[in-house]
Chains A and B, each alone.
Chain A
Amino acid sequence: MTHATPQPAHPGFWRRCVFSQDHKVVGIQYAITGLLFLLFGFVLMMIMRWQLAHPGQPIPVIGGWLGPSRVAQGIMLPEFYNALGAMHGTIMVFLGVVPLSVGGFGNFLVPLQIGAPDMAFPKLNMASYWFYAAGGVIMLASFFVPGGAAQSGWTSYPPLAIINQGGQTYWLVGMLFLITSSLLGSVNVITTIVQMRAPGLTFMRLPFFVWAQLVANFLLLLAFPPLEAAAVFQLMDRLAGTSFFLPTGLVVSGKVLGNAGGGNPLLWQHLFWFLAHPEVYVLILPAMGIVAEIIANNTRKPLFGYRAKVYAVLTIGFLSFAVWAHHMYITGMGTTMSSFFQTTTIIISVPSIVILTCLFLSLWGGSIRFTTPMLFALAFLPMFGLGGLTGLPLGMAPPALHLHDTYYVIAHFHYIVAPGTIFALFAGIYYWYPKATGRRMNEVLGKIHFVGTFICMNLIFMPMFIQGLAGMNRRLYDGGAQYALNHEVLGLHVLISRSAWVMGLVQLVFIVNFFWSLRSGARVGDNPWEATTLEWAAASPPGHGNFATAPAVYRGPYEYSVPGATRDFTPQFQADVV
């Protein structure tokens, strides 16, 4: 006996577009909201970059709009600078990239790629989005409370986060909403993948993207709750006056804090990084999945080492729970702990390199189509490689002591997440836009967007390696101008900032292309890229319930250029090689 969802056949506007339970609508809602938050987080950074390039000078144009609590005579106040930094990180990670890659791409694509009519729990899916939206609203609201938004970095380290007035409580409550959202989403995605695969779609026939989503969602499921526990502790410290993270005899501004004491600031760091290190794999795995799909399609040959990649992604999933304290080498947690975590950290680089190497080898001998999605996917490889390789010194305690909290770290993880993950996300948007809308995005505008973004990204982040190696610290209100040792590398701030602003302008090309193509892009059929996975068996855009007839699967996900076939692709849903 199966059960029909109670949705009416022809729902009204609210049911169809706002409170929809259709995974495609929820996915698009997630994607659009995530893109808006990415833009917002980027704007925060563009404002910060003014202060770094021109410390102490009035912000042009928008300086007058920000209000007296944020700027004085047009000059950014330190508290506002801190809030911008904390909220840039929070928004980019928790409200931008993860919702877009897991909530957006995961929701939209996973049911389509496994041949399911919808997610296993459509109502939970809707609830997941609305918890996310509520969390986002709370985070945004924190900018307008007295004292401004959270100022203690995206990591919210105590004691600073606890004694700080202002929006930190909003940050914590917002995180609780986002954690609830990700819990509902991850239960849903995992159940869907396990339970709703089409007949014939065994695990080893799953597209790599689905594997990446499966592992990423397990990480969300199991790694977020300890942060929830930590957020509850920190809320208690802020609201009920407890001392979970406040040590005895803490002195703030020359006065002994009247708390009971006995708490442990390191406890927060452990609980936070127990989430936040798996979280960086949540950021990167779906991106690898997207890139794998696009590379297979545009090289017209099977992915190199599919099985090796699947085992590698599973290994990453397990190991990512055992590397978190490599963020904490300078806390003095002891050399035994450091040795353990630097060992696991170096081990986890092996499966990451397996995946990257397989993706590189997949290019070998392919007749590559240089479409816009492929350009972004190709750029992902060296960018992620740079980010990954520059992480090796950070994984070992001795060099990390020097590099910790410098711009080198900023450059390292941004190479993974910005020209890495975000390139993959752009690639995915260009690649699946035809499936979601029935129209292609404009190729010329897409290539302009790619070239501009690629150049600017590197002009932004490459100089940061130099600044960081020279010893310039992050989170400095004046960008390090007060320290004599930084002066040789301070000039790079101007180059970085200008590149960031130019990159902001380049994104306008993408925005114009996105909306222009909705109405005027070239119409496409079901399978415009001549791809092999199941989502291309559905109509573009797929109707309610996805597939006209329930698909069956006969082969692996990447059967391109099968010898003896007349076409260079043999879809999974095609029974015979023709």
Chain B
Amino acid sequence: MEIPYTVETRPDTGLFNAKLGIWLFLASEVMLFGGLFSGYVLLRTGAIDWPHGWERLSVPLATFNTAVLIASSVCMVLSRRALKIGRLAKGRAWLLATAALAIAFLAVKLFEYREHFQAGDVPARDNFFATYYTLTGVHGLHVAGGIVVIAYLAGPGAAMWSRQRERYANRVETVALYWYFVDLVWLVLFPALYLL
């Protein structure tokens, strides 16, 4: 039995299955982060007193992290470009670079968490830190999930290239869409939590 349109696009929809699937998944992710974000907005607008992000959090570290995450997305684009012109080794190298930058992002994030915890700024301290930890935490889990999948595609998952080149490229494309989305979420969280 064969599932149609796993690799080739369906003519009347112009999509292969996983591409539609990942877009639907991202739509659901928008609603998840939308729910979290609306919680943040409602609590902040209803609060008597809410500190500015830059008073409590480290803007330089977060700016550095923003650059790291954008760079990782650029690496993802370069990986897709390399695969498009048939160069697997280069594509894998850029995927590894993407994952490495993502790990750097998480390392900085964990460093930030540790600093806050040592200063007594735990989630229970107030709703500023409660939303900070929850929103960046859920985002961090998404980054971690992305690292696993990207590392898999750069490593054992690349074996598919020799037999099903197009299918492998499709997989990288769907993961790339996810990865851009994860970056985009950070680009909303960064100003909302640190700069406002």
Give A contacts to B, CB under 8 Å.
1-5, 7, 116-118, 120-122, 124, 183, 186-188, 190-191, 194-196, 221-230, 232-233, 236, 240-244, 259-260, 262-264, 267, 270-271, 274, 544-545
Q: Are A236 and B134 in contact (CB under 8 A)?
A: yes
Given contacts A236-B134, A271-B39, contact A2 B3 (CB under 8 A): yes
Min Cβ gap B6→A in Å is 4
Q: Are B124 and A260 in contact (CB under 8 A)?
A: yes
Q: Are B127 and A225 in contact (CB under 8 A)?
A: no
Judge if B55 is at the interface, Cβ distance under 8 Å.
no
Judge if B31 is at the interface, Cβ distance under 8 Å.
yes
Mark out the residues of chain B between 139 and 185 whose CB falls within 8 Å of any chain A CB in the assembled complex. 164, 166-167
Instruction: Say which residue of B17, B43, B127 sits within 8 Å of A121 (CB atoms).
Output: B17
Docked pose: A271 CA to B47 CA in angstroms? 19
Judge if B35 is at the interface, Cβ distance under 8 Å.
yes
Given contacts A1-B7, A232-B134, contact A191 B20 (CB under 8 A): yes
Q: Are B17 and A191 in contact (CB under 8 A)?
A: yes
Mark out the residues of chain B between 1 and 48 whose CB falls within 8 Å of any chain A CB in the assembled complex. 1-8, 10, 13, 15, 17-18, 20-21, 24-25, 27-29, 31-36, 38-39, 42-43, 46-48
13 contacts between A and B (CB under 8 A): A1-B7, A1-B164, A3-B2, A196-B3, A223-B31, A225-B32, A225-B34, A228-B32, A230-B39, A242-B127, A242-B134, A259-B124, A544-B1
Docked pose: A241 CA to B127 CA in angstroms? 11
Q: Are A118 and B123 in contact (CB under 8 A)?
A: no
Q: Are B29 and A241 in contact (CB under 8 A)?
A: no
Docked pose: A227 CA to B38 CA in angstroms? 12
Instruction: Say which residue of A121, A221, A270 sits within 8 Å of B28 (CB atoms).
Output: A221
Docked pose: A190 CA to B167 CA in angstroms? 21
Q: Are A195 and B5 in contact (CB under 8 A)?
A: yes
Give B contacts to A, CB under 8 Å.
1-8, 10, 13, 15, 17-18, 20-21, 24-25, 27-29, 31-36, 38-39, 42-43, 46-48, 122-127, 130-131, 133-134, 138, 164, 166-167
Given contacts A2-B4, A241-B124, contact A187 B28 (CB under 8 A): yes
Q: Are A226 and B13 in contact (CB under 8 A)?
A: no
Q: Are B31 and A225 in contact (CB under 8 A)?
A: yes
Given contacts A226-B32, A260-B124, contact A194 B20 (CB under 8 A): yes
Min Cβ gap B165→A in Å is 10
Given contacts A117-B1, A195-B5, A262-B47, contact A225 B29 (CB under 8 A): yes
Docked pose: A226 CA to B36 CA in angstroms? 7
Docked pose: A3 CA to B2 CA in angstroms? 6
Give every chain A residue within 8 A of B46 (Cβ-Cβ).
264
Given contacts A187-B21, A191-B20, A262-B47, contact A232 B127 (CB under 8 A): no
> What residue of chain B has the Cβ atom nearest to residue A22's Cβ?
B1
Docked pose: A241 CA to B133 CA in angstroms? 12
Q: Are A2 and B6 in contact (CB under 8 A)?
A: yes
Q: Are A262 and B20 in contact (CB under 8 A)?
A: no
> What residue of chain A has the Cβ atom nearest to residue B18's Cβ?
A121
Docked pose: A186 CA to B23 CA in angstroms? 12
> What residue of chain A has the Cβ atom nearest to residue B129's Cβ?
A242
> What residue of chain B has the Cβ atom nearest to residue A192's Cβ?
B17
Q: Are A271 and B35 in contact (CB under 8 A)?
A: yes
Min Cβ gap B67→A in Å is 28
Q: Are A120 and B123 in contact (CB under 8 A)?
A: no
Docked pose: A209 CA to B104 CA in angstroms? 49
> What residue of chain B has the Cβ atom nearest to residue A543's Cβ?
B1
Give every chain B residue within 8 A of A2 (Cβ-Cβ).
2-8
Q: Are A195 and B15 in contact (CB under 8 A)?
A: yes
Q: 3 smallest A-B Cβ distances: which pairs?
A: A229-B35, A226-B35, A241-B124
Q: Are A264 and B17 in contact (CB under 8 A)?
A: no
Q: Are A120 and B21 in contact (CB under 8 A)?
A: yes
Instruction: Say which residue of B6, B29, B134 sits within 8 Å of A233 (CB atoms).
Output: B134
Min Cβ gap B4→A in Å is 6
Give every chain B residue within 8 A of A544 (Cβ-Cβ).
1
Q: Are A195 and B10 in contact (CB under 8 A)?
A: yes
Docked pose: A274 CA to B34 CA in angstroms? 12
> What residue of chain A has the Cβ atom nearest to residue B130's Cβ?
A242
Give every chain A residue within 8 A of B164 (Cβ-Cβ).
1, 3
Give every chain B residue within 8 A of A224 (Cβ-Cβ).
28, 31
Q: Are A121 and B2 in contact (CB under 8 A)?
A: no
Q: Are B134 and A226 in contact (CB under 8 A)?
A: no
Given contacts A2-B6, A244-B43, A244-B130, contact A118 B1 (CB under 8 A): yes
Q: Are B39 and A233 in contact (CB under 8 A)?
A: yes
Given contacts A117-B3, A120-B21, contact A222 B134 (CB under 8 A): no
Min Cβ gap A15→B in Å is 14
Give every chain B residue within 8 A of A545 (Cβ-Cβ).
1
Give every chain B residue within 8 A of A3 (Cβ-Cβ).
2-3, 6-7, 164, 167
A226-B32, A226-B35, A244-B39 given; 11 more Cβ-contact pairs under 8 Å:
A1-B164, A2-B7, A117-B1, A117-B3, A196-B5, A224-B28, A229-B39, A230-B35, A240-B133, A260-B130, A263-B43
Given contacts A187-B24, A221-B27, A262-B126, contact A5 B1 (CB under 8 A): yes
> What residue of chain A has the Cβ atom nearest to residue B124's Cβ?
A241
Give every chain A residue within 8 A of B32 (Cβ-Cβ).
225-226, 228-229
Min Cβ gap B48→A in Å is 8
Min Cβ gap A438→B in Å is 20
Docked pose: A26 CA to B13 CA in angstroms? 27
Give every chain B residue within 8 A of A222 (Cβ-Cβ).
27-28, 31
Docked pose: A475 CA to B61 CA in angstroms? 51
Q: Are B39 and A195 in contact (CB under 8 A)?
A: no
Min Cβ gap A554→B in Å is 17
Give every chain B residue within 8 A of A226 (Cβ-Cβ).
31-32, 34-35, 38
Instruction: Say which residue of A1, A221, A225, A270 sits within 8 Å of B8 (CB atoms).
Output: A1
Instruction: Say which residue of B7, B36, B126 sits within 8 Å of A260 (CB atoms).
Output: B126
Docked pose: A227 CA to B32 CA in angstroms? 8
Given contacts A229-B39, A232-B134, A271-B35, contact A196 B127 (CB under 8 A): no
Give every chain A residue within 8 A of B31 (Cβ-Cβ).
222-226
Min Cβ gap A553→B in Å is 14
> What residue of chain A has the Cβ atom nearest to residue B9's Cβ?
A195
Given contacts A4-B1, A195-B5, A230-B35, contact A264 B123 (CB under 8 A): no
